[in-house]
Amino acid sequence: MNYLPATEALRLFRSRELSPVELMTAVIERAEAVEPQVNALSERFFEEALDQAKQAEQAYGPGGSPRPLEGLPVATKDEQPIAGRRACDGSLAFADEVASVTHPVIERVQAAGGIVHARTTTPEFCCAAFTQSKVWGITRNPWNLDYSPGGSSGGAGASLASGTALLATGSDIGGSIRIPAANTGTVGYKPPYGRVPAMPPYNLDHYCHDGPMARTVADCALLQNVIAGPHPLDVVSLRPAIQLPHQLGNVAGMRVAYAANLGDWEIEPEIAANTAAVADALRACGAIVEEVEVGLRRADVMRAAFIHFGAIFGPMVARVPEQQLLTDYARAFVADTRDQGDFLTGLELEAAIYAPIGQLLDRYDALICPTTGAPGLPAGEEFIDTRLTVNGVELDHYLEYALTPVFNIASRCPVLAVPSGRSASGVPTGVQIVGRTFDDATVFHLGAALERARPWTFEEILPHAG
């Protein structure tokens, strides 16, 4: 029951074959069994959730009118505040902070009948591609506990993969939805900038995207349709609200560019093989898939991203008064992004980075490429005194293992992250399906077709627990 798709759970609720209470009880029992190992939940509201599940049961009774997410357990990223709840951002420096407002995404989840039964862990200030902090400790990948589930939405990915939520919310400033999706075999969506409302001042940062995470493409679309649309407090939120179609997967005749690499990223052989298998599967589904060269330089991408982070994100961390309470990786983030160049230089780099992508997407309906060059990062490693080696090459910065920041730079491109296979370590791998600017539906059609062609299962995860 814990790995039941959300769309199927809603069908069973409507037919009265399953009750929201039964589902919530199963999710809670699973969390109690696996959380000591995985550590994906930063806060739990289990008693409240069971009470809300009882109320949801009535909505499926005679005369009831269930809402789009009525009775579904939804884990929300701890970074997204809930009024009256702790808002520490994974930092001891803000251990006593309490939120006064609720994030628009969570407002919409709750208004649609979703039950927020837990919040999920992040790294401090969400400034890392792994998930661990002094507040919550180390979050582990349920496929292999020696690995991280990625970050910063690592708790969300780990919760979905370990069966302790049916849907989850995430956010993405450099890959924070897509990296955990790849590492945990789940589905994550980085919407085009402005599609999903965010909170000031970071709603004005064009790298920032709040979005849905799930175990299936249809479930991801379900949550995306709930959270998308204009919001009165977010000036960049797009109107009108765009709804993804319920019937997904028709890709016959679509032209898809397949990039085994976006340029000079280091790609492990098993990642390359799994990405090629995705391309072959889409061909079998009727898409026209052609291999292309994109020709980006990861040094340019990293510099553009670090200029951007150094102008906005780095100063936020540097403002924290009690710097001695911060993690080493948060302080290193500030140092790494300092003095990388002026903002205009960053914009010039970003324009040059998007140019070949834009030209490709003028000829193709979508682009597929790896999410990361290696399957995952070791749990507990902060990469302060050690360097990450990928494909036998030592990287200058561990984040270079991800091909995700390219599409925070190309922020108006929708990107759906879906599984591509498994690595020798057991950790999943993933691909990014990149669409033309503001063309959300195409990437979901491709993701749904791929999911049908290459079904994914979670049966081997922590079989000894729960």
Q: What tens digit of pLDDT does each residue of 311-333 get?
A: 998 888 889 989 999 999 999 99
In this prediction, residues 155-163 reach a mean pLDDT of: 98
What mean pLDDT comes out for the span 5-11? 98
**pLDDT at residue 463, as a whole number:** 63
- The 10s digit of each residue's pLDDT in 355-389 is 999 999 999 999 999 999 999 999 999 999 999 99
Which are the contacts of 421, defined by CB distance < 8 A and separation ≥ 6?
270, 273, 274, 277, 428, 429
Region 249-267 average pLDDT = 98
- Using alpha carbons, select from 179, 134, 205, 253 the residue that is nearest to residue 428: 179
Q: What is the mean pLDDT of residues 202-215?
A: 97
Indicate which residue of 42, 77, 153, 237 is catalytic: 77
Percent of the chain with pLDDT over 70: 99
Give 423-464 pLDDT, tens digit per residue: 999 999 999 999 999 999 999 999 999 999 999 999 778 765
Tell me how crowded residue 278 is: count the other CB atoms within 10 A of its CB. 27
DSSP 242: P
Q: What are residue 433's DSSP bridge partners?
A: 368, 416
Architecture of domain 6-453 in this structure:
Alpha-Beta Complex (3.90)
Identify the CA nearest to 375 among candidates 215, 186, 183, 187.
Answer: 183
Give the lowest-confidence range in 236-240, 278-282, 316-320.
Answer: 316-320
Q: How many residues are recorded in the chain?
A: 466
Report the percent of the chain where pLDDT is more than 90: 96
Establish whether 420 is a catalytic residue: no
β pairing state of 255-258 and 187-190: unpaired
What residues contact 246, with CB distance under 8 A and at least 6 apart? 221
Q: Does the active-site annotation cover 176? A: yes
What is the spatial order of strands in the sheet that 428-435 belongs to? 41-44, 115-120, 73-77, 167-172, 209-214, 187-190, 415-422, 428-435, 366-370, 255-258, 288-291
What are the pLDDT digits (tens) for 32-65?
Answer: 999 999 999 999 999 999 999 999 999 999 989 9
Looking at residue 466, what is its pLDDT?
A: 45
Please give the average per-residue pLDDT across 59-73, as a whole number: 96
pLDDT of residue 318: 85
> Does 261 score more than 90 pLDDT?
yes
Torsion region of 254: left, alpha or beta (phi above 0 gives left; psi -120 to 50 gives alpha) = beta
Annotated catalytic residue, options 176, 237, 411, 420: 176
The DSSP letter of residue 325 is: G
Cβ atoms 155, 77 nearer than 8 A? yes
Contact by Cβ (8 Å): 353, 406: yes
* Catalytic member of 42, 91, 152, 411: 152
152 labelled catalytic: yes
Report whether 104 contacts 24 (CB < 8 A).
no
Q: What is the mean pLDDT of the chain?
A: 97
pLDDT of 146 higher than 50: yes
